[in-house]
């Protein structure tokens, strides 16, 4: 048991803090301990290990009971480096075109400014995409999946 | 280090045709370099004229486009598109 935890329990026993405060402090100690361990081993231990996503995958599969000999399928694998290069290409798009894209997005009910995608934020975006998975089921039973691997 | 794409495989299959095409992309890089070297005097003249006319932003824009094209084509390695229809299949793979 760490020194901090012992002190908290002593304070609780002496009645200096109540159970809620002790619980909160112990929780903070736990987080701090985990943070310290992560710093010590350079963040390479435990469930925090995350491999960088390599590919963006888009698949379209037909409905399960599609009994045709050759059902329609789409399987696309895009390297993340190409996605990166594509996002960097937005710097070449003239501002008028970006305004038009923003207006079109707004018309579709998406309130997003495409000018906010900056190359500086690219790495964070790529990292966040590692947890992304989009599943869409169409009206005819086809399944669309977008994910990274 | 990311390697540039070396080969592109295009395969089209339908009721009438069934062919696969291997495109040696690695042969295009020396070819592009030779074309660039041949055209370089013209490019330099065009840059000088644009700079003299005070249109330097077009020079910058041109270089940025060229750089974007190079980085995009460099990043193509690993791309795979596989579209299967009822009567036709198209596959594009960049290796």
Q: Which residues pair with B88 in a beta bridge?
A: B14
Best interface-test mutation with B: which of A70, A95, A140 has the largest number of B CBs within 10 A? Answer: A70
Average pLDDT over residues A38-54: 58
- The chain B residue lying nearest A57, using CA atoms, is B80
pTM: 0.64
- Of A52 and B55, which is predicted with more confidence? B55
Distance between CA B59 and CA A83 in Å, rounded? 26
- Of B61 and A122, which is predicted with more confidence? B61
Weakly modelled stretches of chain B, pLDDT under 70: 1
pLDDT of amino acid B47: 92
Residue A45 confidence class, pLDDT cut points 50, 70, 90: very low
Reply yes or no on whether the pLDDT at A88 is more than 60.
yes
Distance between CA B76 and CA A83 in Å, rounded? 10
Please tell me which of the candidates A54, A68, A76 has its beta carbon nearest to residue B86: A68
pLDDT of amino acid A125: 74
| Alpha-carbon torsion angle A83, A96, B67, A124, nearest 10 | -40
Q: Which tens digit of pLDDT belongs to each residue from A20-30?
A: 777 777 776 66
């Amino acid at each position: 048991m760490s020194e901090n935890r012992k002190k908290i329990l002593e304070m609780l026993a002496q009645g200096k803090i109540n159970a809620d405060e002790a619980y909160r402090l112990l929780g903070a100690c736990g987080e701090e301990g985990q943070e310290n361990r992560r710093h010590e081993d350079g963040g390479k231990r435990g469930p925090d290990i995350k491999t960088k996503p390599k590919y963006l995958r888009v698949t379209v599969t037909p409905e399960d009971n599609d009994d045709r000999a050759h059902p329609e399928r789409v399987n696309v694998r895009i390297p993340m480096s190409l996605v990166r290069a594509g996002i960097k290409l937005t710097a070449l798009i003239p501002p008028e075109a970006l305004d038009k894209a923003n207006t079109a997005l707004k018309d579709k009910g998406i309130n997003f400014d495409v000018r906010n995608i900056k190359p500086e934020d690219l790495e964070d975006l790529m990292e966040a995409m590692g947890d992304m998975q989009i599943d869409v089921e169409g009206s005819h039973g086809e399944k669309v999946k977008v994910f990274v691997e | 280090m990311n390697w540039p794409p070396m080969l592109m495989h295009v395969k089209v299959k339908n009721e009438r045709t069934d062919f696969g095409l291997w495109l040696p992309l690695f042969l295009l890089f020396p070819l592009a370099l030779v074309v660039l070297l041949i055209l370089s005097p013209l490019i330099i003249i065009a840059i000088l004229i644009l700079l003299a006319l005070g249109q330097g932003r077009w020079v910058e824009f041109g270089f940025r486009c060229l750089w974007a094209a190079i980085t995009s084509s460099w990043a193509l390695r690993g791309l795979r598109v596989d579209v299967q229809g009822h009567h036709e299949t198209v596959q594009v793979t960049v290796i």
